[in-house]
Amino acid sequence: MNKVLTLIAACVILTGCGTMTPKDILKSANMARNLGKITSAGVGEELTNCAKDIFDPANRGSGC
């Protein structure tokens, strides 16, 4: 219960300054939840795809 209250308080404080929107908070929550699903092979493939995009700007399919 304390974690929920802390999360709500942090969201209110951060959105009060206009720096974070609810969409940003949702993205951060999803990122934190999916952080445990990252593998080193997946990270390597993502880096390879981004490097290919640097050298071939016509192919921007990786989202980098």
Residues, the chain: 64
Task: Provide the pLDDT for residue 18.
Answer: 61
Q: What is the pTM of this model?
A: 0.43
pLDDT tens for the chain, 64 residues long, are 677 778 777 777 766 656 667 787 788 888 888 888 888 898 898 888 888 888 877 766 666 6
